[in-house]
Amino acid sequence: MLDASCAIMAGGAGTRFWPLSRYDRPKQLLALGGGGRSLLQLAWDRARALFPLERILVVTGERLVEAVAEQLPELPRSQILAEPVPRSTAPCIAWAAARAHRDFGEGALAAVPSDQWIEGEAAYGAAFARAASLAREGWIVTFGIPPSRPETGFGYVQAGAALGDDAFAVARFLEKPDRERAERLIAGGGVFWNSGMFVFSTGRMLEELRARLPETGRFADAVVAAGAAGEARAVAARFAGCEAISIDYGVMERAERVAVVAARFGWSDVGSWDAVAERGAAEAASGGVLVVCRDAPGTWVRSAAAGRKVVAVVGVGDAIVVDTDDALLVCRRGSSQEVRAVVEELKARGRGDLL
């Protein structure tokens, strides 16, 4: 068990996973990887293995509090931080850092997404132990995924001076590259995919927020000063005024003494239906629905209408099919990132009932 706190970030909308992901049940609340556990529950399982129960926070939107509480019955309600409005990851992490700093004093805090797949518990725990050690030395730490392909959908981290035990000072953060540049980056070595997981000391993060994002810094200071009794008032008064920006752009790319720890565990950001299909293609996850595929190589089917219909695919290869009671998605493999555009069009047409 690590002497540290953990914040699970669980407020995303999951629009790329429509039609299964909806406004009141987004992707982090769905069981996408088999085994019946949602992505949030899997993140909780990992956190419980590493951090004391009383030091685990879940940050989510107000609309999802009941669903989060239902999925995580062991988590005290007071440890669910309900954002009144969406404000990206910097204010989310600011609130968690302020709460942890107020309740436990100066110490390491891990901030992890709720919607990733992780494999290799021992390596995962070792990486977080190393990161917590660096955080206590004043570093802000991110985890770098050794790239397995020239991926254009992730930001990259370029490693600088070695810090020992699979850790490096960050030389620079790199925006999502085109394929040619991604190939050059990988060929040159010393780069990682940016995982979106972080560890830092609460005091150091509060200092960075004050310097880089003044409104967010003032919000965090207000949470600390208000105490438990006044926290809700501080959130109501100040959270909406925070800068709506990611922690990457708001702090990580501008701060000094940022380190990257190489992640030697299995990882996927579960960013689209393609990622799910690649992981589960062999099992053709169907939720119990009878699936009949003929002359449909590489086609993957997922249905939420368990036991009530047959899904038949004939002569359509390399497709992704996601079926629900009120919507059907059919897309070519490699294009599921565009599902978000479908959601935007449905919004424009006033079809909130389908979102």
Peptide bond into 19 cis (omega under 30): yes
Q: Token pair of 56, please?
A: 């685990």
Report the candidate in 292, 338, 335, 337 with the shortest Cα–Cα distance to residue 316: 292
Cis peptide before 297 (omega within 30 of 0): no
CB atoms within 10 A of CB 58: 27
Residue-by-residue pLDDT tens, the chain, 355 positions: 999 999 999 998 889 999 999 999 999 999 987 678 999 999 999 999 999 999 999 999 999 999 999 999 999 999 999 999 999 999 999 999 999 999 999 999 999 999 999 999 999 999 999 999 999 999 999 999 999 999 888 899 999 999 999 999 999 999 999 999 999 999 999 999 999 999 999 999 999 999 999 999 999 999 999 999 999 999 999 999 999 999 999 999 999 999 999 999 999 999 899 988 887 643 444 555 678 888 889 898 888 766 667 888 999 999 999 988 889 999 999 888 899 999 999 999 999 999 9
Q: By three-state DSSP, how is residue 287 classified? A: coil
The CATH architecture to which 4-268 belongs is Alpha-Beta Complex (3.90)
> How many Cβ atoms from other residues are within 10 Å of residue 181's Cβ?
15
Q: Which residues 6+ apart lie within 8 Å of 151 measured at CB?
A: 182, 193
DSSP string, 1-49: --SEEEEEE-----GGGTTTSBTTB-GGGS--SSTT--HHHHHHHHHHH
Closest CA to 150 of 177, 123, 125, 171: 177
Kindly list the domain boundaries of the chain, sorted by start residue.
4-268, 273-354
Residue 152 carries which side chain, given as an amino acid letter?
T
- The count of residues in the chain is 355
Question: What's the Cα-to-Cα distance from 145 to each of 14, 172, 193, 261, rounded to whole Å?
Answer: 22, 15, 5, 9
CA 277/CA 63 separation, integer angstroms: 29
